[in-house]
């Protein structure tokens, strides 16, 4: 549904130099007269879709809501500045807890993360109603003198690098992940990156998005994708026949990894891989190619299509 | 509940020069390095509390969500710049309408208002879930060289002026009102205003808030409050014994008027009343007084307390 609505919006929303990239990238770049260095992004999370209040502690849910927005700022290599937190709280709160207690519990996850990433909570709107918990977070960041990192600057031949390990986020990473803010800023400052995106809907789908925005295709080296231990554990829990194949599928398609996918020229990318400037892992998972589409190598070393598997928003 | 939560937040949120006024005014004033001229505000509206999707056309509901935020920008005398619109849509949409159709119908109310007030829709997040419609709007504005109009600058002796007429908003005004953006900017540019607020929760309550923020009390001239025809109609529908008294009570306490309440020195205020620079009415409804509290004149011309009646958020 969301994709169709965005298409409808693109056809209906007039272009405006005061806000760019909003419908096509991870955050919108705002322009105020002479200054153009503010980015803004927003995420709305609902009980039953993004988390389950019956299962997940409110503290972790609150943290997740802010972290997802910080990941969008990271995708633009922006420095987090402030955030607004709006809540629609179930009247009565639920789970032996009043609405006020729920709001405070959510905030107890939000605040430490805000402090850790130097984000000021600038405001919000708190409401009770007859419905499930909804959190809406807007995060504001500043881009550096390098400008924003966007999805559009990739070139055929660029290497695709990914931070961390992928898949199985549902086992806990989706709530407890560290948004790659510092990693994105460091890479963007120290190296000439061409394009970037955060992996929120699965490597295959987000690599495909980055490639499309850069008017290229993407070839993924499926044998080099860093598969997380959670992806393997999930495959074991699934009692998959082929654990390795199942874990790779999780790594390619699971949502909410919130790792960074970066495109850079081969020389720059090789330097990054050699220098390993991050505390987390960084791995080459593919390259951008001239031919549109998403590709993998066949056993014979030829290209064959790779399905754009991933988390499709309802 | 919201008030308790804001009190909890005030005790827990560290002061930060990068975002001021967020917990005490209509919008937060953001500071980015050398520049401090951006304000940001957010409102979350839920079905059953702020509107009823069964009764109200989605187009009007969408319009209302953006208009309420523009009213907050008006309260700061800020020029609207951009907005982010996030939706939690009931799966299936409801009322013989799919979720996509509902999203589009909401947007058909949002877009014309955005165009009218020169606001660019910079992004958003659209979701479906098993729950009632929730709209979360964040609006960003720029303050002028005069600085922001805040709640805090009022002085004892200031006259209190109000735009338009008050009360009975539930009969339609709450959905179709024109946010007083141009009026606020014009007044703030042309005259030396001391303080301002938009009347979202009733004149009595919001006058009391402005007075408290300015460390004063407020004396309302209840015989001069501009009572709207809707407030009278509502009293007639209520079959009130004393239509006039009932309509005044609506004018003092009904939420969602979204008119401006301004404090200015007597000379400035008198000049405004004489020059009548706005297309809408502007009326003196009281004054700020040294003694804390909310007051009215008794029949004998003495001060007596006036109840802080108004819309209290659940």
Q: Element (H or E) spanning A28, and its range?
A: strand A28-32
How far does A64 lie from chain B, in Å, by closest CA?
A: 16
Contacts of B263 (CB under 8 A, 6+ apart): B153, B154, B155, B158, B159, B160, B161, B193, B194, B195, B196, B210, B214, B288
* Region for A22 from its dihedrals, namely left if φ exceeds 0, alpha if ψ lies in -120 to 50, beta otherwise: alpha
- Measured distance between the N- and C-terminal CA atoms of chain A, rounded to whole angstroms: 6
Out of A116-125, B3-12, B296-305, the most confident range is: A116-125
What pLDDT, on a 0 to 100 scale, did the predictor assign at position B231? 95
Q: How far is CA A271 from CA A297, B35, B47, B62, in A?
A: 24, 37, 54, 50
Q: B36: number of CA atoms within 13 Å, CB side?
A: 13
Q: What is the mean pLDDT of chain B?
A: 91
Lowest mean pLDDT among A35-39, A74-78, B250-254: A35-39
Gap between the Cα atoms of B125 and B135, Å rounded? 10
Question: What is the rounded average pLDDT of the residues A110-120?
Answer: 95
C-alpha closest to that of B306 among B177, B237, B232, B219: B219
Identify the bridge partners of residue B126 per DSSP, sorted by sequence position: B87
C-alpha closest to that of A207 among A303, A313, A294, A311: A294
How far does A276 lie from chain B, in Å, by closest CA?
A: 32
ipTM value = 0.90
Q: A228: number of CA atoms within 13 Å, CB side?
A: 29
Question: What is the rounded average pLDDT of the residues B94-109?
Answer: 86
Say whether B84 and A121 touch across the interface (CB within 8 A). no
Gap between the Cα atoms of B172 and B7, Å rounded? 33
Q: Which of residues 171-190 of B touch A (CB under 8 A)?
A: none
Gap between the Cα atoms of A309 and A304, Å rounded? 15
Structure tokens, A73: 């700022």
Q: Is A34 on the interface with B (CB under 8 A)?
A: no
Would the pLDDT of B7 be above 70?
A: yes
**Tens of pLDDT, residues B252-261:** 999 899 999 9
Task: Please indicate whether residue A22 or residue A126 has the higher confidence score (pLDDT).
Answer: A126
- Which residues does chain B have within 8 Å of residue A48's beta carbon, measured at their own beta carbons? 129-131
- Which residues does chain B have within 8 Å of residue A32's beta carbon, measured at their own beta carbons? 35, 37-38, 81, 142
Would the pLDDT of B299 be above 90?
A: no
Minimal-distance CA residue of chain B relative to A8:
B104
pLDDT band at A96 (very low <50, low <70, confident <90, very high): low
Contacts of A234 (CB under 8 A, 6+ apart): A167, A168, A170, A171, A246, A247, A250
Question: What is the rounded average pLDDT of the residues A88-116?
Answer: 88
For an interface test with B, give the residue of A91, A127, A137 to mutate (most B CBs within 10 A): A127
The DSSP call for residue B158 is P
Structure tokens, B222: 């209840």
Q: DSSP letters along B45-78, please?
A: EEBTTTB-TTTS-HHHHHHHHHHHHHHHHHHTTE
Q: Considering the entire predicted model, what is its pTM?
A: 0.91
Q: Is B81 on the interface with A (CB under 8 A)?
A: yes
Gap between the Cα atoms of A135 and A137, Å rounded? 6
Structure tokens, A237: 């829990």
Task: Please indicate whether residue B123 or residue A24 has the higher confidence score (pLDDT).
Answer: B123
CA angle B219/B266/B270 to nearest 5° reads 110
**Tens of pLDDT, residues B262-271:** 999 999 999 9
Task: Please indicate whether residue A261 or residue A124 has the higher confidence score (pLDDT).
Answer: A261
What pLDDT, on a 0 to 100 scale, did the predictor assign at position A174? 87
Residue indicated by tokens 């009326």: B283
Question: What is the rounded average pLDDT of the residues B85-112?
Answer: 88
What pLDDT, on a 0 to 100 scale, did the predictor assign at position A312? 65
What pLDDT, on a 0 to 100 scale, did the predictor assign at position A206? 95
For an interface test with B, give the residue of A30, A90, A125 to mutate (most B CBs within 10 A): A125
Cβ atoms of residues A118 and A181 within 8 Å: no
What pLDDT, on a 0 to 100 scale, did the predictor assign at position B71? 96
What pLDDT, on a 0 to 100 scale, did the predictor assign at position B21? 67
Minimal-distance CA residue of chain A relative to B20:
A122
Lowest mean pLDDT among A53-57, A285-289, B30-34, B234-238: B30-34
What pLDDT, on a 0 to 100 scale, did the predictor assign at position A35? 72
What pLDDT, on a 0 to 100 scale, did the predictor assign at position B28? 87
Q: What is the mean pLDDT of chain A?
A: 91
- Which residues does chain B have within 8 Å of residue A200's beta carbon, measured at their own beta carbons? none
Identify the bridge partners of residue B80 per DSSP, sorted by sequence position: B141
The total number of residues shown for chain A amounts to 314
**Alpha-helical segments (H) within chain A:** 2-12, 58-75, 99-116, 173-176, 181-190, 203-213, 229-237, 243-253, 266-275
- Which residues does chain A have within 8 Å of residue B40's beta carbon, measured at their own beta carbons? 82, 84, 122-123, 138, 140
Gap between the Cα atoms of B90 and A130, Å rounded? 13
pLDDT band at A300 (very low <50, low <70, confident <90, very high): confident
Q: Is B30 on the interface with A (CB under 8 A)?
A: yes
Query: Pseudo-torsion of CA A266, A270, A271, A273, nearest 10°?
Result: 140
Q: Is B24 on the interface with A (CB under 8 A)?
A: no
Q: How many percent of chain A have pLDDT more than 70? A: 96
Three-state SS at A84? strand
Would the pLDDT of B243 be above 60?
A: yes
Task: Please indicate whether residue A1 or residue A258 has the higher confidence score (pLDDT).
Answer: A258
Gap between the Cα atoms of A125 and A142, Å rounded? 23
The DSSP call for residue B218 is E
**Tens of pLDDT, residues A246-289:** 999 999 999 899 999 999 999 999 999 999 999 999 999 999 99
Q: Residue A239: how many CB atoms within 10 A of its CB?
A: 8
Lowest mean pLDDT among A8-22, A277-291, B107-121, B224-238: A8-22
Question: What is the rounded average pLDDT of the residues A50-73?
Answer: 94
Question: What is the rounded average pLDDT of the residues B118-124?
Answer: 92
Q: B151: number of CA atoms within 13 Å, CB side?
A: 27
What pLDDT, on a 0 to 100 scale, did the predictor assign at position B164? 97
Three-state SS at B193? strand
Out of A94-98, A276-280, B5-9, the most confident range is: A276-280
Residue A189 CA, distance from chain mean position:
20
Question: What is the rounded average pLDDT of the residues A6-19?
Answer: 76
What pLDDT, on a 0 to 100 scale, did the predictor assign at position A76? 94
């Amino acid at each position: 549904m969301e994709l169709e609505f965005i298409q409808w919006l693109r056809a209906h929303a007039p272009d405006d130099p005061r806000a760019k990239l909003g419908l096509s990238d991870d955050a919108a770049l705002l322009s105020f007269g002479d200054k153009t260095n503010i980015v803004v992004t927003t995420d709305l999370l609902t009980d039953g879709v993004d988390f389950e209040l019956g299962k997940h502690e409110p503290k972790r849910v609150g943290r997740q809501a802010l972290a997802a927005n910080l990941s969008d700022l990271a995708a633009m290599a922006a420095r987090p500045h402030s955030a607004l937190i709006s809540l629609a709280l179930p009247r009565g709160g639920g789970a032996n807890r009043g609405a006020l207690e729920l709001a405070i519990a959510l905030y107890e996850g939000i605040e430490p993360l805000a402090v850790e990433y130097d984000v000021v909570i600038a405001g919000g709107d708190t409401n009770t109603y007859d419905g499930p918990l909804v959190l809406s977070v807007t995060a504001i960041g500043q881009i550096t003198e390098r400008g924003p990192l966007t999805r559009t600057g990739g070139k055929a031949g660029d290497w695709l690098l990914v931070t961390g390990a992928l898949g199985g986020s549902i086992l806990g990473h989706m709530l407890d992940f560290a948004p790659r803010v510092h990693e994105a800023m460091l890479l963007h400052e120290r190296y000439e990156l061409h394009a970037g995106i955060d992996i929120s809907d699965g490597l295959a789908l987000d690599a495909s998005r980055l490639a499309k925005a850069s008017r290229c295709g993407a070839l993924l080296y499926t044998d080099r994708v860093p598969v997380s231990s959670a992806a393997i554990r999930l495959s074991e829990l699934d009692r998959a026949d082929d654990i390795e194949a199942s874990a790779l599928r999780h790594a390619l398609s699971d949502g909410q990894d919130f790792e960074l996918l970066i495109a850079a020229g081969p020389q720059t990318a090789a330097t990054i891989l050699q220098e390993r400037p991050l505390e987390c892992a960084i791995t080459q998972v593919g390259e951008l190619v001239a031919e549109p589409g998403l590709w993998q190598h066949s056993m014979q070393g030829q290209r064959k299509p790779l399905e754009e598997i991933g988390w499709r928003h309802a």
